[in-house]
């Protein structure tokens, strides 16, 4: 799952949400005096990734793209965020616009207290409104291109994210069915590992 899903699959606490997001850019390690909510958010991120990467439905989605490829996991993470955006009102009782705007506002209020690398990552997601970037198929293609710009020439010589776009488009209906089957199971797993009283934004 990508950043929109990680932030949604968090307790309604800005540090928890940010911790769930920062696990990737900080490679799973927060700073020494990070708050308990930041730490719990990071731990939840790791649980989500482990559950997702080993799930048969997600494996089926990846196999719809091609037999092999170095970047299939990244492609599916972003594509599943697209489906979450599309079906947002099915899973969340706060509108997509209100939810993302609340996150940006609260994150802006917290970012000055973070170390440079963490602050820079959070500021980027706020400045470019990254959570809003996966709402159409065209957005997906742009996101794939944007990711390729950050990859090393060595990796790009072996695989590119944008090269999966045609397969995603061709199989979009089947991939959407996979997501609809998988996401409630992921929510059930997360629910068992967080404070249920703090996920009242969930509909499921």
What does the domain layout of the chain look like in residue ranges?
3-198
Reported as a single tens digit per residue, the pLDDT across 131-161 is: 999 999 999 999 999 999 999 999 999 999 9
Share of the chain above pLDDT 90, in %: 98
Instruction: Note the pTM of the prediction, 2 decimals.
Output: 0.96
pLDDT at 10: 98
Phi, psi of 92 (to 5 degrees): -125, 140
Counting every residue written for the chain, the total comes to 204
Q: Do 168 and 175 touch, CB atoms closer than 8 A?
A: yes
Reported as a single tens digit per residue, the pLDDT across 49-82 is: 999 999 999 999 999 999 889 999 999 999 999 9
| Pair of tokens at residue 101 | 């705007």
């Amino acid at each position: 799952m990508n950043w929109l899903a990680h932030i949604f699959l968090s307790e309604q606490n800005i540090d928890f949400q940010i911790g769930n997001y920062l696990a990737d850019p900080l490679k799973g390690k927060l700073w020494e005096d990070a708050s308990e909510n930041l730490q719990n958010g990071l731990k939840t991120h790791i649980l989500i990734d482990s559950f997702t990467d080993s799930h048969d439905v997600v494996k089926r989605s990846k196999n719809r793209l091609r037999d092999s490829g170095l970047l299939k996991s990244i492609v599916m993470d972003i594509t599943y965020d697209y489906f979450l955006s599309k079906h947002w009102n099915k899973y969340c009782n706060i509108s997509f616009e209100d939810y993302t705007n609340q996150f940006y506002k609260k994150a802006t209020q917290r970012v000055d207290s973070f170390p440079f690398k963490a602050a820079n990552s959070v500021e980027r997601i706020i400045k470019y409104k990254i959570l809003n970037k996966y709402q159409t198929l065209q957005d997906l293609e742009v996101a794939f291109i944007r990711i390729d710009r950050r990859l090393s020439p060595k990796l790009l010589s072996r695989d590119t994210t944008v090269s999966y776009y045609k397969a995603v488009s061709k199989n979009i209906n089947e991939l959407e069915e996979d997501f609809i089957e998988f996401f409630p199971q992921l929510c059930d797993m997360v629910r068992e590992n967080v404070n249920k009283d703090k996920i009242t934004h969930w509909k499921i």
